[in-house]
Amino acid sequence: MPAPRGPRDRAREPRGICALNLVLKALTLGVYHFWARTRVRRYLWSRSRFAGEPFEYTGRGRELLLGYALALAALVPLLTIGASYLVASGLLALLAQAGWQAALVDVSQPALDRALETIRRNMDRQVKKGALKEAERDAALGRIAPATALDAVRDAALVVEAAVEQPATKFALFAELDRMLPPPAILASNTSSISITEIAGQTQHPGRVIGMHFMNPVPMMALVEVIRGLATTDETVRTVLEIAGSLGKTPVEANDYPGFVANRVLMPMINEAVYCVMEGVATPDAVDTVMKLGMNHPMGPLALADLIGLDVCLAILEVLHRGLGDDKYRPCPLLRKMVVAGRLGRKSGRGFYEYA
C-alpha cells in the first residue's frame, strides 16, 4: 500500500510535475481574476441601471476586491431556497441565470417536479424568443440542485425560505436551519406577512434573519421588499440589499409590521373586491375591468388574487387581522369558502376564473 501523502511529499515530486502544478495554479488564478472582473462589472452595471446613475467601472482597487468576493461566493452554493412551487420556481430561475449555485428544497416531490418543469418550460420559451442562448439555458439548469431534505442547504451562505405561508412551518424551518448552518450564513424569508422578528425569535442568531420578499412572477417583477426584524444587523441588511441589486432587482427597505408595505396596501383591496362579488355588486370580470380601465391597474384584483393563490391571500389577511387587531382586515367569508372548496386560483385550475 502506498504511504499516505503529506505536504512534505511535494519536495519528492519530479521537477516536471512541480512546474506543471505551478502553471496550472497560475492559469487558475488568471481565470479567477478574469471571472472576478466580469462579476463585479455585471454587478455595478445592474446597480447603476436601477439607481438611474451612470455606469462607471474601473476594475481596480475596491471594485476588484468586491469582484473577488463575488466570484468566491459563487463557488459555493450561495443561494438556496427553503421550498418550492410558485414563487420559488421563479426565484430559482432568476438565481441560476444570474450564475448562482442554487439548491431547491421542497418536502413534496410532486411540487419539486412541477417547479423544475416550470423553470425548464420558461427557459425554453426564452430560448425560442432569442432572449437566452441554448448553452446559457443548459448551464443555468445545471446550477439547480433539487432535493427533498433540508440537508441540501448545509453549505449555503444564504437561504431564502419560501415554504407555505403558515407561521408554524416557518418557525420550525428556521429553528432547524439555525441549528444546521453556522453564522455568518444569512437566513431570509420570502414571507408575505409573517413577522420577521417572530421568525428570528426561533433562532439563536436573530441578527442574521431578514425578510426578502420577492414579487410574483419573480423574473419579471423589479421589486424586492427587504424587511428588517427588530434584531436584524446592519451588515445583514447591507449584504441582502447588494445581492438583490446584483440580481437586477430594486430593493426597498421596510420595517417589521404585519404585511410590511406591499400586502398591507394590496390585500385590503383584494378583500374588498371579493366582498363586491359576494354582495352581488358586480361579477369578477366587471370588478377587474373597473380597476384596469378606471384605475390603470395592469391586472384586476381578482385575477391577481388567482395568481397569488387564494389560500396565500387568506393566510396574509389572517396575519393582518390578528397582528393589527383591526376588523377592516377581516377576511371575506367568500374567500374562506373558496379556499375550503379547493378553488385556489391558477395553481388549482379554478379560482375567480377558470384555467385550462
Ligand X SMILES: NC(=O)c1ccc[n+]([C@@H]2O[C@H](COP(=O)([O-])OP(=O)(O)OC[C@H]3O[C@@H](n4cnc5c(N)ncnc54)[C@H](O)[C@@H]3O)[C@@H](O)[C@H]2O)c1
| Binding interface with ligand X (CB under 6 A) | 82-88, 105-108, 111, 162-165, 169, 173, 190-192, 213, 215-216, 308-309, 312, 347
Shortest distance (Å) from residue 183 CB to ligand X:
22
**Residue 296: active-site member:** no
Q: Which is nearer to ligand X, 192 or 202 (CB)?
A: 192
Q: Which is nearer to ligand X, 63 or 165 (CB)?
A: 165
Q: Which residue has the cell 387568506?
A: 314
**Residue 263: active-site member:** yes
Count the neighbouring beta carbons within 10 Å of the beta carbon of residue 260: 23
Q: Which is nearer to ligand X, 11 or 168 (CB)?
A: 168
Shortest distance (Å) from residue 18 CB to ligand X:
49
Q: Is residue 349 helix, strand or coil?
A: coil
In DSSP notation, 47-96 reads HHHHHT-------SHHHHHHHHHHHHHHHS--EEES--SHHHHHHHHHHH
Question: Pick the catalytic residue: 63, 161, 165, 225?
Answer: 225
Q: List phi, psi (to 5°) of 104.
A: -115, 115
Nearest to 212 by CA among 190, 232, 196: 190
**Residue 189: active-site member:** no
Cell output for 252: 426597498
Question: Pick the catalytic residue: 89, 161, 205, 213?
Answer: 213
Shortest distance (Å) from residue 159 CB to ligand X:
11
Residues 6+ apart with CB under 8 A from 48: 54, 55, 56
Cell output for 282: 358586480
Count the neighbouring beta carbons within 10 Å of the beta carbon of residue 110: 10
Q: Which is nearer to ligand X, 165 or 178 (CB)?
A: 165
Shortest distance (Å) from residue 177 CB to ligand X:
10
Q: Which is nearer to ligand X, 63 or 288 (CB)?
A: 288
Q: Which is nearer to ligand X, 216 or 271 (CB)?
A: 216
Using CA atoms, how far apart are residues 15 and 83, in angstroms rounded to an integer? 51
Question: Pick the catalytic residue: 46, 84, 189, 192?
Answer: 192
Question: Pick the catalytic residue: 190, 216, 246, 263?
Answer: 263
Cell output for 220: 419579471
**Residue 354: active-site member:** no
Cell output for 247: 440580481
In DSSP notation, 261-314 reads THHHHHHHHHHHHHHHHHTTSS-HHHHHHIIIIIH--SS-HHHHHHHH-HHHHH
**Contact (Cβ atoms closer than 8 angstroms) between residue 244 and residue 215:** no
Which of the residues are catalytic? 192, 213, 225, 263
